[in-house]
Chains A and B, each alone.
Chain A
Amino acid sequence: MTAELYVFAAAAVFGIGVHGLLIARHLMRKLLAVNLMLSAVFLLLLLFSTPIGGKPDPIPQALVLTGIVIAVSSTAFALALMVRLFRLSGRATLPRFEPDDD
């Protein structure tokens, strides 16, 4: 019952993340949305594991821990790129490409 509840939570958070990624204009808002989606995936990854002898499986825990560190690394790099883009172009949004724009 508890696991199903948290699967529902992960699905809701992932959906909200997708929504945020799509509708956000500001790149930082898009990054926040991606981080929400990451949290949902981590939650699912742990929920899928089978407890061994009443204790949670250590392998998925280690994988999620690695994932959390990778997430903060990529977020930091993405933020640096965003600040640079803003400094150069004065915008913190993705440019709109026109189809006949080459």
Chain B
Amino acid sequence: MIGTLAVDLLLVSILIGLAWQVVRGRVLFRAIVFFVAFGLIMAMIWGRLGVPDLALAEAAIGAGLTGALMLGAFRRLVEIDARQAVSGGLRPSPRLSLLLSLLAGLLVAVLGLAGLELRGGSGEAGRAALDSLHLTGLGNPVSAVLLLFRGLDTVFEMLVLLGAFLGARHVAERDRRSGAAIASHRLPMVGALQMTVVPLALVVALHLLRAGANDPGGAFQAGAVLAAGGVLLTLTGRVVPQAQAGLLTRFSLIFGTLMLAGSGIVPLIYGGVLMAPPGKTAIYAIEAAMMVSIGVTLSLLFSASAGLRAVRS
């Protein structure tokens, strides 16, 4: 008992220390690195709280891809102007902001403790989800909630991801197409790294997809791992950003949303109900489509381009 409390205390103190470093660290680059570390500690905390699905998502998306996006944007800023003029800018006095943040923290603490007091309700939605889990053929209740019970939410979630991509695409420079790679894949070590990591990312993504039906995992985690492979391919110059997207790229961006929304609508044609649970095979097909869409969207967000084209070695 004391041992587990010690682990919790250690995780919490590291988490708070890293958060402080993210905010107060002197150098922006280091703040981003600390943020990635913060995400990994969050993933460990999700694991401690018994929610491995969230641990996987936090490690892959929260720490991994957000960190990659931040570092990518940081590099673009340095390329434009290394001096990074940040003088001026709107901000309150440090004393006022310290007071406000203390009040905000206090408010969250009080709300949090009150929320803990209110626990012990029936949790009816969760109970209903667990009770009808056997109807879906899935073993992982989180996957069942995401794809079936709250499938409409997930359709909109995919649309938000697509909307973010379209928005980022719209504000990005249209004529930028080169300069994404930092080390050529023709260098022996870089090539070896890429040849090891990219297939590994593919295998891990497929495993997460397959496992997601019964064990922790699912389309979002798998898509994020797939995007990690895409990020590495971009950084090593194996694929180059394109100003215009090909038809295949455009289709793969919306493939997952189409499959998920289609699986909800198609039963209507056959006289069924809207969003009736499809069979397990259909769920795998939907999740695979979503994985491809999420992976492609996140890869393109990282390279800030409309499409990617492979380079012949």
Give the B-binding residues of A (Cβ under 8 A). 1-20, 22-26, 28-29, 31-33, 35-36, 39-40, 42-44, 46-50, 52-53, 55-62, 64-66, 68-77, 79-84, 86-87, 90-97
Contacts and interface: CB of A to CB of B under 8 A. Distances in A.
Main SS of chain B's interface residues? Answer: helix
Given A56-B50, A61-B53, A32 B35 contact: yes
Contacts of A93: 86-90
B113 A4 contact: yes
Interface in B65-111: 65-66, 69-70, 72-74, 76-77, 80-81, 84-92, 94, 96-98, 100-102, 104-106, 108-109, 111
B145 A58 contact: yes
Contacts of A53: 130
Contacts, number: 292
27 contacts: A11-B109, A14-B105, A14-B108, A18-B100, A22-B91, A28-B70, A39-B39, A44-B111, A46-B51, A50-B126, A52-B127, A56-B49, A58-B130, A58-B141, A59-B123, A62-B146, A65-B53, A66-B153, A66-B157, A68-B61, A76-B165, A83-B73, A83-B76, A83-B80, A87-B173, A90-B81, A91-B89
Nearest to B157: A66
B45 A43 contact: yes
Given A44-B112, A50-B120, A61-B53, A32 B8 contact: no
Contacts of B84: 26, 92
B242 to A, nearest CB: 17
Contacts of A26: 28, 84, 86, 89
A15 B108 CA distance: 8
A96 B88 contact: yes
Nearest to B146: A62
A50 B116 CA distance: 9
A48 to B, nearest CB: 4
B71 to A, nearest CB: 10
A87 B80 CA distance: 7
Interface string B148-175: 0010011001001101110110011100
Contacts of B51: 46, 56, 61
